[in-house]
Structure 1
Amino acid sequence: MFSFKILIAAAAFVCVSARHILLEDETNYYLLPIEDLEDVEPSEDLVPIRTGRMRRQVQGSVTAKSDGTSGANVRIPLAGGDQNALSAIGSVNFNKDLKMIGQTAGLELDNIKGHSLMLTHSKLPGADRITAAGNVNLFHNDNHNFDANAFAARTMPNAAQAPAFNTYGAGAEYMFKNKVGADVNIVRTPHFDQTDYSAGGKLNLFRGRDSSLDFNAGLVKTVSPYIPKSSWEPNLGFTFKKWF
């Protein structure tokens, strides 16, 4: 009886643009129009879950790195529809002595296809920074996800005699089954004739309905005429995420 209702619900969804909800039990996922929920027998094993690749939930994360630095991030949904979601975002960063060395606040617009735009304002030691960033999903299926991203930032030192300067960056990220991933990034600051390179990998150690734990490992390198010798330095860390 329940399977028959699922077929009817699926047909209705294809024929009309009805609002819908995705339900999950122990073995499968079911797509039902909201108006048909009253016909579904209640079950403790049947719960609603989210669709698409954008989350409309409060999300928090904590990152700890091998150099002793750490950070915390939060995302709070503000508004959204079937295709897009607008969220308030914020973060704080700490040095190895747990002294705050930066704080950021802004807005992020996410699309169900994996695209996003972000505008933030950061308070750094001795400076303010405005950053505009974007992410474009280039490919996605059940196993693979490939994104490209870019940003432009304007840093304004607090000292009157220090000029403002720009920083630009771009990168790419690949994920396999939300389990194993890799990314590469390049950041350029013309004012200091400085280029930063990074390459890394990510391994998901745990993923539940409302939390996940990732291990991150990579290499970073800074090239500048003001740095006579530069080499690739390791960068390791863990990131824990929680959805509410």
Structure 2
Amino acid sequence: MFSYKLILGLVLVVSASARYVVFEDPEGESYVVINQAEDEPHFEEDALPDYEHFVQLASPRVRRQTQGTLTLNSDGSSSMGIKVPIEGNDKNVLSALGSFDHNAQLKPSSRSIGLALDNVNGHGLSVVKETIPGMGERLTGAGKLNVFHNDNHDVNAKAFITRNKFDFPDVPNFNTVGGGVDYTFKDKIGASLGMANTPFLDRKDYSAMGNLNVFRNPTTSLDFNAGFKKFETPVFKSNWEPNFGLTFSKTFPNRW
């Protein structure tokens, strides 16, 4: 299944690059969404959000272009996202967010809508509401602080809080909080560390990921990401499990 999606993703890279003319600033970049939702989630492994799904807010610099992304994951799941600027100036841009996620069987697993505010210095805020059919909703507020940036290095600190609300009457609502640090070298190679905590379940999630930009031009980007994730509870600790995928990103000019 993953091989099929990988081929589909590469076809989209070629076709999208051929259909659109390059109009953008040569320093432009696109952002990534991961999703990790499953068809039948349960508390121990799938009921909690992957923090990376909510804290990827924008490129390090402020943007005024529509951005679309397609992510193919090693477990067969996939995600399609869009970010559309609705208001802004040369320092800040307010954008609308939307995404649709599918499981390994290509069935819809979740959908999200939200708003993101991006600053020219690389800082950002976002609010996202995720709906999971047959399970419930998640409301997430996230923030990003650009700690350091020059021509070679970019360092960001991120944090989020998620309110988990379930459709099941016997399951109370609860919060998940977390954060992480991202590092990128020359917009080509990157690494990130993340941690999330859910006190209600006494569960902690950890991630260590790397990213390699395979291809980039002013409006198109193809990235390979790989790493390891694990979780811990008082009764069970998982091993570090590998996780990898491809993300294709495309920006389009806005006339405003």
TM score, norm. by length of structure 2: 0.74
How many residues of Structure 1 are paired with residues of Structure 2 in the alignment? 198
* Higher alpha-carbon Rg: 1
Q: CA deviation at 1:103?
A: 0.9
- Runs of 4+ in structure 1 off by over 2 angstroms are 47-52
1:138 pairs with one of 139, 143, 147: 147
Quick check: 2:98–2:111 contact (8 Å CA) kept in 1? Answer: yes
Counting only pairs closer than 5 Å after superposition, residues 1-244 of structure 1 correspond to structure 2 as 49=25, 53-125=61-133, 126-227=135-236, 229-244=237-252
Partner deviation per Cα, 1:142-173 (whole Å, 9 max, x = no partner) = 00000000000101111222100000010000
Q: Which runs of 5+ in 2 are unaligned?
A: 1-22, 29-60
Report the aligned-residue RMSD: 1.6
**2:245 partner amino acid:** G
Q: CA deviation at 1:226?
A: 3.8
Q: Percent identity?
A: 47
Q: CA deviation at 1:99?
A: 1.0
Q: CA deviation at 1:51?
A: 7.0
Q: Which runs of 5+ in 1 are unaligned?
A: 1-46
Quick check: 2:24–2:219 contact (8 Å CA) kept in 1? Answer: no
TM score, norm. by length of structure 1: 0.78
Quick check: 2:24–2:218 contact (8 Å CA) kept in 1? Answer: no
Q: CA deviation at 1:120?
A: 1.0
Quick check: 2:86–2:94 contact (8 Å CA) kept in 1? Answer: yes
| Bigger RCO (CA 8 Å, 6+ sep) | 2
Partner deviation per Cα, 1:151-204 (whole Å, 9 max, x = no partner) = 001011112221000000100000000000000000111111110000010000
**2:205 partner amino acid:** D
